[in-house]
A and B are shown apart, each in its own frame.
Chain A
């Protein structure tokens, strides 16, 4: 069964500091990996995704993530946090069975002024 682990349910950074949100997955076959962001009282929206090809993926709002097969990781980073980045972030995985998608438990990012 596929699974996703997000390390750290809450992450706090200062404005301008590096953002690092961790995601590890379990898989015996190549995964397709996604990061979604949820702002308060809203649905989720896609930040970026990895399907095939380049392992460093760039997304919206300056975020990027690197797929590391050897580490089964897909960590999300942003060089400089902005106040507007405060939100909950979800890592998700799907496999060749297209119907099922598995989400991590989420990481709440707080940005301090």
Chain B
């Protein structure tokens, strides 16, 4: 089954404790992206990757890191989480990485709470 898989789905952590949210897609998509969803703010793009070894900042990259060493994986790293990073995170992928017309396929989301 074609899917985008995120782990963990739920996580409660404490300020400053490094964490990684994994994202994997099995559709051989070139493009992958991370978003955070907050009430009343919609989805805001954190980072995106047009292809392996190519990443770029979205609208809210502060406090996050990403890497794209393999086509299928795009982990989101919070080196020193803070309470304002409490949010619902979505990973998405798209086949048409170099053209803007492709639809995004989303994972089911990872709800992160930072105490």
Contact = CB atoms under 8 A, between A and B. Distances in A.
Interface of A: 6, 9, 32, 34, 36, 41-46, 49, 51, 90, 92, 94-106
B39 to A, nearest CB: 9
B74 interface: no
A105 B100 contact: no
A36 B106 CA distance: 10
Contacts of A97: 100
B70 interface: no
B79 interface: no
B50 to A, nearest CB: 6
Contacts, number: 69
A108 to B, nearest CB: 10
A104 B42 CA distance: 6
Contacts of A46: 103-104
A100 B100 CA distance: 9
A34 B97 contact: no
A103 B96 CA distance: 18
Nearest to A6: B42
10 contacts: A43-B107, A43-B109, A44-B106, A45-B106, A94-B100, A96-B100, A98-B100, A101-B33, A101-B45, A102-B45
A98 B98 contact: yes
A94 to B, nearest CB: 4
A90 B108 contact: no
Given A45-B106, A100-B58, A101-B33, A90 B43 contact: yes
